């Protein structure tokens, strides 16, 4: 059955647009070549910028001919790479493909060899390299005149030579693959940069949170403990299908928990560290810290949900909390979670006005105020974590 190469190329191009991981993309292309064109094996050498080498990224075919991924690594001064990166050699690449049988013809052309003194040595080494790969065709893939990779093909299962329409298909495919791989690499690099920025932001957030712990001598390690228990409660709620949240919820909660007391920067240390009971004015100053904290991080638009956690973590389920007296489910879930973990950690930590409660006593105290001060679902998750030894 004759293959409609134009249709195959269009189908491959459509699929390539959807793939954002270079290795997955290459696997897709090589698998398609092996199955559609019926070659014994095929593979792609792809440039790895970090290693400054061309790595055999994917190789498919019969097990006896399949070379393990990453097994072959060749440097830019390798004969194969030198041949395809030298513009003078483009004239020997048949429309974009180097066919093994043509190497012998070039070597017999004394005129060509006399023009380029290193050509003979390069071609002999290149032919040996193709023998190693058991390749009968090599097709370079360029992006902005840079050699991005090399597609190599073994013999056809039928034993026949490759036709011109097949070579043209591979050449066009290699061009499309170069564009798609570069786009996939850029997407991957962008994702890596996003992850780096995210890690850096979290480290900065932790450093900022630690300044609050340092300012309030009685809450050392408080933010880290509140964060860990908040995340554990949320995972429990998700696993038990009690809440339905998007994938970013845990990230936002992490940030909100770390920064929930950031507003204490604006509270005088003599109030934070006072050993006796606070007077009304001092209590008012303490109660301002959620609004101060929300104001500090409010300019970061992407942190809207985290800001809610900072702003409303002292609201009570019955509407008697602050700063706005929100009630019931009007309190953002992220704040309701932090409210429970903040109180739990406060109860289990020594304070100047009272000794710490043990875990059981603290959990019982919080359970007592379920539906009054605390969100019942969150309290239930806390109790289950305690009973499972997760606190």
Whose tokens are 């909100």? That residue is 256
Q: What pLDDT sits at residue 64? A: 45
What's the whole-number average pLDDT of the chain? 82
Q: Is pLDDT above 90 for 31?
A: no
Cα distance between the two ends of the chain: 66
Q: Is pLDDT above 80 for 218?
A: no
Which positions ≥6 away from 68 have C-beta within 8 Å? 59
- Between residues 142 and 187, which one has the greater pLDDT? 142
Q: Which domains does the chain have, with CATH numbers?
A: 5-188 (3.30.450.40), 216-387 (1.10.3210.10)
Q: What is the pLDDT of residues 247-299, one digit of tens each?
A: 889 999 999 998 898 888 888 878 777 777 888 888 898 899 999 989 888 88
Q: Is pLDDT above 80 for 358?
A: yes
Q: Determine how many CB atoms are found less than 10 A away from the CB of residue 125.
A: 15
Mean pLDDT calculated for residue range 56-77 = 69
Q: Is pLDDT above 60 for 151?
A: yes
Bridge partners of 142, per DSSP, are 147
Q: Is pLDDT above 60 for 12?
A: no
- Between residues 64 and 54, which one has the greater pLDDT? 54
Tokens of 342: 């903040």
Q: What pLDDT sits at residue 315? A: 97
Task: Give the separation between CA 180 and CA 174, rounded to whole angstroms.
Answer: 10
Point out the least confidently predicted range of 5-19, 55-69, 218-232.
5-19
List the Cα angle 231/246/381 in 5-degree steps: 35
Mean pLDDT calculated for residue range 104-117 = 74
Helix (H, G, I), strand (E, B) or coil at 86: coil
Q: What is the pLDDT of residues 338-356, one digit of tens each?
A: 999 999 999 998 776 678 8
Q: What pLDDT sits at residue 385? A: 94
Are 252 and 305 in contact, with CB atoms under 8 Å apart? yes
List the Cα angle 205/208/210 in 5-degree steps: 110
Are 45 and 152 in contact, with CB atoms under 8 Å apart? yes
Mean pLDDT calculated for residue range 150-171 = 84
Q: What pLDDT sits at residue 63? A: 45
Q: What pLDDT sits at residue 120? A: 85
Q: How confident is the model at residue 7 (pLDDT cuts 50, 70, 90)?
A: low
Q: Output DSSP code: residue 388.
A: T
């Amino acid at each position: 059955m004759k293959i409609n190469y134009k249709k195959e190329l269009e189908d491959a191009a459509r699929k390539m647009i959807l793939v954002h991981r270079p290795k997955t993309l290459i696997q897709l292309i090589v698998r398609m070549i092996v199955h559609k064109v019926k070659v014994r094996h095929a593979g792609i050498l792809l440039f790895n910028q970090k290693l400054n080498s061309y790595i055999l990224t994917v190789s498919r075919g019969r097990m006896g001919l399949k070379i393990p991924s990453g097994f072959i690594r060749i440097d830019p001064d390798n004969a194969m790479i030198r041949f395809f990166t030298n513009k003078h050699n483009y004239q020997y690449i048949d429309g974009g493909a180097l066919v093994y049988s043509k190497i012998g013809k070039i070597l017999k052309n004394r005129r060509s060899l006399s023009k380029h003194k290193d050509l003979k040595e390069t071609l002999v080494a290149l032919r040996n390299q193709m023998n190693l790969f058991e390749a009968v065709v090599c097709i370079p893939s360029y992006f902005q005149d840079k050699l991005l990779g090399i597609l190599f093909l073994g013999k056809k299962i039928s034993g026949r030579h490759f036709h011109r329409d097949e070579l043209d298909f591979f050449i066009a495919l290699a061009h499309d693959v170069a564009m798609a791989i570069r786009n996939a690499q850029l997407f991957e690099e962008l994702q890596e940069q996003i992850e780096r920025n995210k890690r850096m932001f979290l480290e900065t957030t932790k450093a900022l949170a630690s300044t609050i712990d340092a300012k309030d001598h009685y809450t050392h390690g408080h933010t880290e403990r509140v964060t860990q228990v908040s995340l554990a409660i949320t995972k429990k709620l998700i696993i038990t299908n009690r809440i339905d949240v998007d994938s970013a919820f845990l990230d936002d909660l992490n940030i909100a928990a770390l920064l929930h007391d950031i507003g204490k920067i604006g509270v005088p240390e003599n109030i934070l560290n006072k050993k006796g009971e606070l007077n009304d004015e001092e209590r008012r100053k303490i109660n301002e810290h959620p609004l101060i904290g929300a104001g500090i991080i409010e300019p970061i638009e992407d942190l809207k949900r985290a800001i809610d956690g900072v702003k409303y973590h002292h609201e009570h389920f019955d509407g008697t909390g602050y700063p706005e007296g929100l009630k019931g489910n009007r309190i953002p879930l992220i704040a309701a979670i932090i409210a429970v973990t903040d109180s739990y950690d406060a109860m289990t930590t020594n304070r100047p006005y009272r000794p710490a409660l043990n875990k059981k006593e603290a959990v019982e105290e919080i359970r007592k105020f379920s539906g009054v001060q605390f969100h019942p679902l969150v309290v239930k998750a806390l109790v289950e974590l305690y009973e499972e030894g997760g606190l």
